Structure 1
Amino acid sequence: MRNFYSAIVLLVFFISCGESPKNKKDLEQKKEVVVQQVDTVVNEKRPKKIFRTFDKLTDTTFVRLADFSDGFGYELRYATKNNFLKEKVYECAECYTRVKTAKALLKVNEEFKKSGVRIKFFDCYRPNSVQYKMWKIVPNPQYVANPKKGSIHNKGGAVDITLESLDGEELDMGTDFDFFGKRAYHDNFDLPKEILANRKLLKETMEKYGFWSTRTEWWHYNLDGAHRYPIANFKWNCN
């Protein structure tokens, strides 16, 4: 789209001026100035996105996080084959949580932004039917919750996350998401200082806003009290 505007504007510009640029550098300089002016006008005319509010919503209502903010990053792995299941188990990539969880996430994300980073999601609410698939592949409660009891993911109170820069560059946490091994443990301090500092920033800030972690997964956080929510199995619409 930017190139399209550039071509049109330059054509009009040089026809109206009745002259051609002296050299390529001159052309590029004039092009950049004019295109910036066009981009400014286009952006001013483009309507701003209106986000939902939590008015009249109970804390237990499920909501789509992207409807309330565009300040997060997303790489929802279970909507792809890039996960330990090696299969796509969500029809489309969406991040749902309970309202109470969403409110806490919005607050903690504002705190992260002060440090020049933001939350990036790997998983949010997870239908209980997906939990059964995971349990079948990895029936180990150290890594996967028994679906009969339900994961806090199934209750809308857990998220799998990392941190990324505001430009979208992930911080180094030492392992990939869903790495089943000691290197992913919170109490493994035999790691480079940068990785330990990144994990500390993630953990301490999440805990400040009511989330708690699990020992074996640096990426997993539960909202305090979310274990009381009922297990859910609804599947969101893919439009």
Structure 2
Amino acid sequence: MMMTRNKNIILSFYCFLLLPLALAAQQQKASHSLDAYLQTKGLVNVSSLDRSIHADLKYGTTDNFTKTVLYDSLSGIYLHPLAADKLVKAQKYLKTLHPDYSLLVYDAVRPLSVQKKMYKVVQNTKYAAYVANPSRTGLHNYGMAVDLTICDKQGKALDMGTPFDFFGSAAGINREAELVQKGVLTKQQVKNRELLRKVMLHAGFLTIRGEWWHFNAVSLTEARKSYKVIE
């Protein structure tokens, strides 16, 4: 009887020791669940191609316009292989121009499930008009778009005149000279934007007029014709 009791005490002691380890393993697995899902869809973790590219995934924090964590289990920059290769090419070109600079990614693939979450969060807010209805897929949903900037060797983002996801005319790229004349932007801020565009265009990305930080690897028409949406 005493031996059985001692065995139970020992077993309970080991369970007490192992429980935190089991919970930690479970949490680690959960924290990478979106990463694992994206890999099954054939997307590439950009860090596996070039570790010098920096990441500050804004939607994985509350530091974004929704003030909500939208990626609750994402740790890497994931893109379609075509877009990932272009991003690495852009980084290498940037390094030839400015060895101390690096690309700093704010957002890459945005699964449709996250787009739906974002769309729901902004309803009845001033941002509702700026978030695309999930029924109309965008290039982020294919892993074919990337939002980014340039940072220095300390990881500090260059001044581009507006923050990421700024909703206003100053975020656009088609009236920069006029905005400089009006004092909305400085010449250095525009110069920084031009550097970002130079390296991204060199790598084969496409710009959009309204957002200095957004670049597309292919056109939306091509994506809808040739690639699959990441649900």
User: Could you say whether these structures have the same fold, taking a TM-score greater than 0.5 normalized by the shorter chain as the test?
Assistant: yes
Q: In the alignment, what sits opposite 1:75? A: 56
Q: In the alignment, what sits opposite 2:154? A: 167
SS at match of 1:119: strand
Q: Does 1:227 align with 2:223?
A: yes
SS at match of 1:159: strand
The 1:127/1:99 distance shift into structure 2, 3 A limit, reads same
Question: What amino acid is the match of 1:208?
Answer: H
Alignment partner of 2:93 out of 87, 93, 111: 111
* Cα drift, residue 221 of structure 1: 0.5
Query: Would you say the 8 A contact 1:163–1:171 is kept in 2?
Result: yes
Normalised TM-score (structure 1): 0.68
State how many pairs are aligned.
Answer: 172
1:158-195 CA-partner distances (Å, limit 9, x unpaired): 00000012331211101111111111111232121000
Alignment partner of 2:194 out of 195, 200, 205: 200
Q: Does 1:218 align with 2:212?
A: yes
Alignment partner of 1:123 out of 92, 107, 110: 107
1:46-86 CA-partner distances (Å, limit 9, x unpaired): xxxxxxxxxxxxxx831111122211111100110011111
1:12-55 CA-partner distances (Å, limit 9, x unpaired): xxxxxxxxxxxxxxxxxxxxxxxxxxxxxxxxxxxxxxxxxxxx
1:124-150 CA-partner distances (Å, limit 9, x unpaired): 11110111222331443xx43331121
Q: Sequence identity of aligned pairs in percent?
A: 37
SS at match of 2:213: strand
Query: Would you say the 8 A contact 1:124–1:153 is kept in 2?
Result: yes
Greater helix content: 2
Q: In the alignment, what sits opposite 1:151? A: 138
SS at match of 1:204: helix
Q: In the alignment, what sits opposite 1:96? A: 78
CA RMSD in angstroms, aligned pairs only = 1.6
Question: What amino acid is the match of 2:131?
Answer: V
Structure 1 residues 203-212 or 102-111, which shifts more?
203-212
Query: Would you say the 8 A contact 1:139–1:146 is kept in 2?
Result: no
Q: In the alignment, what sits opposite 1:184? A: 171
Query: Would you say the 8 A contact 2:91–2:199 is kept in 1?
Result: no
* Cα drift, residue 204 of structure 1: 2.4
Q: Distance in 2 between matches of 1:164 and 1:183?
A: 20
Alignment partner of 1:132 out of 108, 111, 116: 116
Larger radius of gyration: 1
Q: In the alignment, what sits opposite 1:22? A: none
Query: Would you say the 8 A contact 2:70–2:118 is kept in 1?
Result: no
Question: What amino acid is the match of 1:188?
Answer: R
